[in-house]
């Protein structure tokens, strides 16, 4: 719907016109009609005098409304200006509160650079407060500061600033706590059991730390529906991307494709490579991993990502290097894979296992080593997976620490230990309903025996190959099926 007005026609009643426009903006906001909110707020701002005490808050509302209409640069300018006006007209505490809300909205709308800049502005106003406002500002300010560090290993570390952040969160009510991109950050969970025993049942924690894909899936779908009603495009994209990832892990490939298409359709309006877009790309990567094909297409995507300069891609750089090494290994590009594996030693050693993407990074590194059939960096990878992934039992879509240890033990000739880890991996994957990775575990154990090639090994491999082939065929894992049939011959 288009709205037209003439300033000259309403000058005698400018005050009444402004009041009507504000009321109309309120009504449009109640139904999440963000474009209409922008229209009415612009009218109101054009009608009220420059010294009107309502102007700072009207401009602040405009910044938030522009955020949800994906007009990122306009939104940033309006929000930044509004915050300074609020600080002058009210006080700095009010400006900090506004900037916390604006930074959070901008982050959830997919504009991380703007969110970080607003957070930095807000930190100048928050002073010695250590509350929900401070936490919402600090989360992006810490990330922005770390992104400037040329020595950053490409993954979150357990630094003094992060420790202060988590300490403050202990006194912040759950409903007021911020998120780091899509991850719940209520506390630093030291183990999967601790997470499941907590009151935190966010879909991100359930899927990407606990491996509870069946529990997380309906939560992501509900979030997608809610975001659609609210007109929050980036959140729609994110939720459908995560739903697709859960479906991939469970082997529901038709449902995964449908969720991916919904996410891609929602994201067609986004022009920035944001965290939400990265998650959709990750869903596609995990689909190819589950099917065992599409490596050439995947290579173009991950090489482009690893060169990317967006906030989200730089923040997850180590995980992307590990994923790219795994793709190189699938394509027998041994030198390129080995070069990337060497860059993963610092993040593997320095980062704690409870930070986002650690499990994926470590297990992708193990997958690359397994596919290459060499022992490049194997001791570092094995030690960290044992201590930081398997010991706390963290889990992740299309990854499993026990399966990774089985592969690494097999490469080092510790076949009895490898067999034990294969058995443990199968038990966990069956309990999770992680059917694609469960089938791959059978293939990998068969491959262990075929690589060893001692007397009786082919006989031990045969039933595993048959079981893997049957699962691949039932699920439609076409690339893995071809590989299993080739090994059987």
| pLDDT tens by residue, 417-476 | 999 999 999 999 999 999 999 999 999 999 999 999 899 999 999 999 999 999 999 999
Q: In the prediction, which pLDDT does 426 show? A: 98
Q: In the prediction, which pLDDT does 308 show? A: 63
- Which residues, other chains included, contact 251 with Cβ-Cβ below 8 Å and sequence gap of 6+? 290, 433, 434, 435, 436, 475
Alpha helix stretches (DSSP H) within 357-414: 358-372, 378-385, 401-411
Q: In the prediction, which pLDDT does 2 show? A: 44
Helix (H) or strand (E) holding 88, with range, is helix 72-89
Helix (H) or strand (E) holding 179, with range, is strand 179-180
- Check if the beta carbon of residue 268 is closer than 8 Å to that of residue 287: no
- Rounded to 5°, the CA angle 66-269-318 comes to 100
- b/e per residue, 317-356, with b = 16+ CB within 10 A? bbbbbbbbbbbbbbeebbebbbebbebbebbbeebbbbbb
Q: Please, which residues bridge with residue 180 across strands?
A: 183
Q: In the prediction, which pLDDT does 302 show? A: 72
Low-confidence stretches of the chain (pLDDT beneath 70): 1-12, 179-187, 305-309
Q: CA–CA separation, 249 vs 429, rounded Å? A: 10
- Which residues, other chains included, contact 214 with Cβ-Cβ below 8 Å and sequence gap of 6+? 246, 250, 433
Q: What number of CA atoms fall less than 13 Å from residue 112's CA on the CB side?
A: 25
C-alpha torsion sign, points 373, 387, 421, 320: negative
- b/e per residue, 182-201, with b = 16+ CB within 10 A? bbbbbeebebbebbbeeebe
* pLDDT tens profile 77-90: 999 999 999 999 99
Q: In the prediction, which pLDDT does 241 show? A: 96
Q: Model pTM greater than 0.75?
A: yes
- Top-tier CATH class for 7-190: mainly alpha
Q: In the prediction, which pLDDT does 184 show? A: 53
Helix (H) or strand (E) holding 180, with range, is strand 179-180
């Amino acid at each position: 719907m288009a709205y037209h007005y003439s300033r000259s026609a309403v000058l005698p009643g400018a005050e009444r016109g402004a009041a009507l426009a504000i009321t109309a903006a309120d009504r449009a906001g109640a139904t999440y009609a963000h474009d209409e909110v922008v229209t009415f707020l612009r009218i109101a701002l054009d009608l009220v005098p420059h010294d009107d005490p309502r102007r700072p808050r009207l401009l602040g509302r405009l910044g938030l409304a522009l955020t949800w209409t994906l007009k990122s640069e306009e939104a940033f300018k309006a929000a930044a200006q509004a915050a300074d006006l609020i600080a002058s007209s009210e006080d700095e505490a009010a400006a900090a509160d506004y900037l916390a809300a604006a930074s959070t909205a901008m982050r959830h709308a997919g504009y991380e650079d703007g969110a970080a800049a607003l957070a930095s502005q807000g930190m100048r106003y928050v002073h010695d407060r250590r509350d929900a406002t401070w936490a919402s500002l600090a989360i992006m300010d810490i990330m922005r500061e770390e992104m400037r560090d040329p020595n950053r290993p490409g993954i979150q570390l357990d630094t003094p600033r992060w420790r202060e952040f988590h300490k403050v969160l202990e006194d912040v009510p759950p409903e007021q706590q911020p998120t780091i991109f899509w991850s719940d950050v209520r506390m630093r969970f030291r183990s999967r059991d601790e997470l499941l025993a907590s009151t935190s049942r966010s879909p991100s924690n359930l899927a990407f730390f606990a491996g509870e894909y069946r529990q997380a899936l309906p939560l992501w779908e509900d979030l997608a529906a809610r975001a659609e009603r609210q007109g929050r495009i980036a959140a729609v994209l994110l939720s459908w991307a995560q739903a697709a990832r859960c479906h991939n892990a469970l082997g529901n490939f038709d449902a995964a494709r449908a969720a991916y298409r919904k996410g891609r359709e929602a994201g067609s309006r986004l022009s920035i490579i944001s965290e939400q877009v990265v998650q959709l790309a990750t869903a596609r990567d995990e689909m190819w991993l589950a099917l065992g094909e599409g490596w050439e297409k995947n290579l173009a995507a991950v090489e482009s990502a690893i060169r990317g300069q967006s906030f989200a891609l730089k923040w997850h750089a180590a995980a992307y290097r590990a994923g790219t090494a795994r793709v190189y290994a699938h394509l027998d590009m041994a030198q390129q894979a080995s070069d990337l594996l060497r860059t993963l030693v610092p993040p593997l050693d320095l980062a704690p296992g409870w930070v986002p993407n650690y499990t994926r990074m470590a297990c992708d590194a193990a997958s690359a080593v397994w596919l290459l059939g060499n022992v490049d960096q194997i001791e570092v990878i094995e030690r960290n997976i044992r201590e930081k992934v398997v010991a706390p039992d963290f889990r992740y879509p299309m990854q499993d620490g026990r399966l990774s240890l089985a592969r690494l033990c097999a490469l080092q000739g510790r076949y009895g230990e490898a067999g034990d880890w294969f058995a443990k991996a199968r038990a966990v994957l069956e309990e999770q309903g992680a059917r694609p990775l469960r089938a791959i575990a059978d293939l990998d154990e068969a491959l262990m025996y075929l690589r060893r090639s001692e007397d009786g090994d082919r006989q031990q491999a045969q039933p595993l190959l048959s079981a893997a082939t049957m699962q691949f065929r039932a699920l439609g894992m076409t690339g893995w099926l071809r590989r299993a049939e080739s090994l059987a011959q």
